[in-house]
């Protein structure tokens, strides 16, 4: 964890050097108004970020998952608070450091060539996967060098950097120093043994250098105050607790540069070309570069920022980054949302095991919306999740093709809805008060339960998004889809006749209620399956301006209000909403055999 590497100081150990630390002055206040207007960051703007991705290898499904979580949060927020100026969303590639320098050398490429090639792969993947980012940053851009060097200058001016001899195990793959306790020995091909990182198994090497060192040890209390004052700063809660626990342990100062003779692929320390800035400091500042730092415009987006990160990079985001920010006179980010990892058939994904899952193949096989739905429905931030092909097919066939697609088909098919309209809701058949009896009353207790559940669904979904439990939001929608299918099954509209004056009002009501439920599901699925939701809402005749959460008023006729959809023509026929990915697909048969 955060135990010290051997650290001998040439500078004055632990001296503050006149450092001015920004005291964290307690939590900000968050408003919680009605669903549409709710703004968790307490301001009009929100800024979401993904980690920036290393370009040493092609993207895999874990990377796509990080980006999808951020995309879904961001899209959900846009549904609540519309307007391009209100939400910003950045992603990008992390292109400096020893890891990239070594990968380029191994591939016989110049580092810039490798960076251009792999960064383009990430950009293409994200375009194809519908990642709705507003900014893509590459750390090799000139604007980023300016931002990093400016940030460095601030730390220096505030007395937070000093020169010292830094000695310890360095893992190029993780780009960090490791304490002795995190290093083990592995048999090497030459018959001896080589030191590797206990956690990742990647090689480590002993490094002893004079570097610039950041006075991280002085930030223990400000960090503790920040986290204790804002229990949701790191979400989900177990990660918040883990960081507080780390802060109880040793917190040594942090080496923030490398000798340029050893690491040339990076940003030089201002005024000292013999040193290159540590890649993690360089990478973290990307979050400021994209919002215009060091120009004052960045202040309108900072600190209303939510970082989405994997658990492996929690220490960098929850300890180093907030400490660096406080050191530079800024506030920590608003939220750090943490997710766990994907394994494949029970194993960690790795090039050496040859089990890396290519996300573009998955998007082709399962469709963009299908694969987005799978990853977000099955991915649980609190613990690792396992990937295998049959699991995807089973989930998509049952929830998107059969349950949701089937429900839409049941309510819109020509046979059952020959007029192709949103039918009229009959209050006499479905009075707003449960338990009434009368000749025209047809609604039963379970029907009232359905209406209540769907009415509260948008709020439930919003709460799950806020707690970074998107899979729970999808679980709740899926459960309501099942309940709505049960409602249709119970009343078997196909047995009712439009010709019968007794049946017709109730038949219309059953279809109206089911279509209203579908409208809610389509609206709530937009952040996860944007094209499928668009197809569904278009089929229901819901226009682009009627798809926000502020406009989502479920079943108004039941509550005594007019319904703008009643009597409206449905949209054009769309065929199957989501075709089944049945077992006959050639690739699946092949996957079974191997």
Sites of contact with ligand MSP (CB under 6 A): 51-54, 62-63, 65-66, 94, 283-284, 286, 309-310, 312-313, 341-342, 349
* Helix intervals (H) in 20-157: 61-80, 98-106, 111-128, 142-157
**Residue closest to 451 by CA, chosen among 423, 484, 426, 419:** 484
In this complex, which beta carbon is closest to ligand MSP, that of residue 312 or of residue 358?
312
- Shortest distance (Å) from residue 128 CB to ligand MSP: 18
In this complex, which beta carbon is closest to ligand MSP, that of residue 139 or of residue 232?
139
In this complex, which beta carbon is closest to ligand MSP, that of residue 103 or of residue 393?
103
- Shortest distance (Å) from residue 53 CB to ligand MSP: 4
368, two tokens? 């963009």
In this complex, which beta carbon is closest to ligand MSP, that of residue 39 or of residue 94?
94
- Shortest distance (Å) from residue 320 CB to ligand MSP: 10
Q: Tell me which DSSP letter residue 421 carries.
A: B
- Shortest distance (Å) from residue 51 CB to ligand MSP: 4
- Shortest distance (Å) from residue 490 CB to ligand MSP: 41
CA-to-CA separations, 367 to 128, 141, 208, 524, 588, in angstroms, rounded: 10, 33, 50, 19, 15
- Shortest distance (Å) from residue 106 CB to ligand MSP: 17
In this complex, which beta carbon is closest to ligand MSP, that of residue 148 or of residue 563?
148
- Shortest distance (Å) from residue 341 CB to ligand MSP: 4
435, two tokens? 């338990």
In this complex, which beta carbon is closest to ligand MSP, that of residue 42 or of residue 346?
346
In this complex, which beta carbon is closest to ligand MSP, that of residue 94 or of residue 447?
94
Edge-first strand order for the sheet with 385-387 is 347-348, 342-344, 385-387
In this complex, which beta carbon is closest to ligand MSP, that of residue 166 or of residue 287?
287
Count Cα neighbours of 68 within 13 Å in the Cβ-side half-sphere: 31
- Shortest distance (Å) from residue 108 CB to ligand MSP: 22
Cα torsion 480, 460, 46, 149: sign? negative
In this complex, which beta carbon is closest to ligand MSP, that of residue 228 or of residue 341?
341
- Shortest distance (Å) from residue 92 CB to ligand MSP: 9
Residue nearest to ligand MSP (CB): 310
Separation CA 118–CA 133 (nearest Å)? 18
Separation CA 160–CA 146 (nearest Å)? 19
Note whether 300 and 306 are within 8 A (CB): no
Separation CA 332–CA 400 (nearest Å)? 40
Separation CA 49–CA 71 (nearest Å)? 9
- Shortest distance (Å) from residue 347 CB to ligand MSP: 11
CA-to-CA separations, 41 to 301, 374, 524, in angstroms, rounded: 11, 29, 21
Q: CA angle at residue 593 from 587 to 594, to 5 degrees? A: 90
- CB neighbours of 359 closer than 8 A, spacing ≥ 6? 59, 60, 61, 63, 64, 125, 129, 371
In this complex, which beta carbon is closest to ligand MSP, that of residue 13 or of residue 238?
238
In this complex, which beta carbon is closest to ligand MSP, that of residue 35 or of residue 357?
357
- Shortest distance (Å) from residue 339 CB to ligand MSP: 7
**Residue closest to 447 by CA, chosen among 408, 490, 406:** 490
CA-to-CA separations, 78 to 46, 63, 81, 217, 536, in angstroms, rounded: 10, 23, 5, 39, 19
């Amino acid at each position: 964890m955060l135990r010290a590497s051997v650290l001998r100081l040439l500078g004055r150990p632990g001296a503050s050097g006149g450092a001015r630390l920004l005291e964290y002055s307690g939590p900000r206040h968050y408003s919680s108004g009605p669903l549409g207007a709710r703004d968790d960051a307490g301001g009009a703007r929100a800024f979401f970020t993904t980690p920036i991705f290393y370009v040493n290898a092609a993207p895999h499904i874990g990377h796509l998952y990080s980006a999808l979580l951020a995309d879904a949060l961001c899209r959900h927020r846009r549904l609540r608070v519309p307007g391009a100026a209100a939400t910003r969303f950045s992603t990008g590639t992390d292109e400096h450091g020893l890891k990239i320098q070594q990968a380029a050398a191994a591939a016989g490429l110049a580092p810039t060539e490798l960076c251009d090639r792999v960064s383009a792969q990430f950009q293409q993947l994200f375009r194809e996967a519908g990642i709705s980012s507003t900014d893509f940053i590459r750390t090799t851009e000139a604007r980023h060098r300016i931002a990093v060097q400016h940030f460095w200058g601030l730390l220096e001016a505030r007395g937070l950097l000093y020169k010292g001899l830094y000695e310890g195990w360095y893992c190029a793959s993780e780009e960090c120093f490791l304490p002795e306790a995190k290093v083990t020995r592995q048999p090497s091909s030459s018959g001896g043994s080589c030191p590797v990182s206990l956690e990742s198994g990647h090689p480590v090497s002993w490094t002893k250098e004079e570097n610039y060192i950041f006075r991280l040890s002085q930030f223990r209390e400000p960090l503790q105050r920040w986290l204790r004052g804002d229990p949701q700063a790191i979400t989900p809660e177990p990660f918040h607790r883990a960081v507080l626990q780390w802060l109880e342990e040793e917190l040594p100062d942090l080496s923030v540069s490398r000798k340029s003779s050893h690491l040339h692929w990076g940003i030089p320390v201002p005024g000292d070309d013999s040193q290159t800035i540590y890649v993690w400091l360089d990478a973290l500042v990307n979050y400021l570069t994209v919002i215009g730092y060091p120009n004052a415009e960045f202040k309108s987006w900072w600190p209303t920022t939510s970082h989405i990160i994997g658990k492996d990079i929690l220490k960098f985001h929850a300890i180093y980054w907030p400490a660096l920010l406080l050191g530079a006179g800024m506030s920590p980010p608003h939220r750090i949302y943490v997710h766990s990892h994907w394994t494949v058939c029970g194993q960690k994904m790795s090039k050496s095991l040859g089990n890396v899952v290519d996300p573009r193949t998955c998007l082709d096989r399962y469709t963009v919306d299908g694969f987005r739905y799978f990853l977000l429905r099955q991915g649980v931030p609190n613990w690792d999740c396992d990937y295998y092909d049959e699991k995807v097919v089973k989930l998509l066939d049952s929830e998107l093709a059969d349950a949701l697609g089937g429900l839409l088909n049941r309510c819109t098919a020509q046979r059952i809805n020959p007029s192709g309209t949103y039918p009229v809701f009959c209050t006499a058949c479905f009075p707003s008060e449960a338990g009434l009896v009368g000749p025209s009353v047809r609604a039963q207790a379970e029907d009232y339960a359905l209406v209540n559940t769907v009415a509260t669904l948008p709020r439930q979904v919003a709460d799950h998004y806020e707690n970074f439990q998107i899979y729970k939001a999808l679980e709740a929608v899926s459960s309501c889809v099942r309940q709505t299918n049960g409602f249709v099954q119970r009343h078997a509209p196909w047995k009712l006749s439009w010709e019968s004056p007794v049946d017709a009002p109730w038949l219309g009501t059953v279809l109206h209620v089911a279509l209203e439920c579908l409208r809610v599901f389509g609206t709530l699925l937009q952040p996860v399956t944007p094209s499928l939701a668009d197809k569904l809402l278009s089929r229901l005749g819901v226009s682009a301006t009627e798809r926000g959460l502020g406009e989502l008023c479920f079943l108004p006729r039941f509550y005594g209000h007019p319904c703008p959809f009643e009597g409206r023509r449905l949209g054009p026929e769309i065929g199957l909403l989501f075709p089944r990915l049945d077992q006959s697909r050639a690739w699946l048969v092949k996957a079974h055999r191997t």
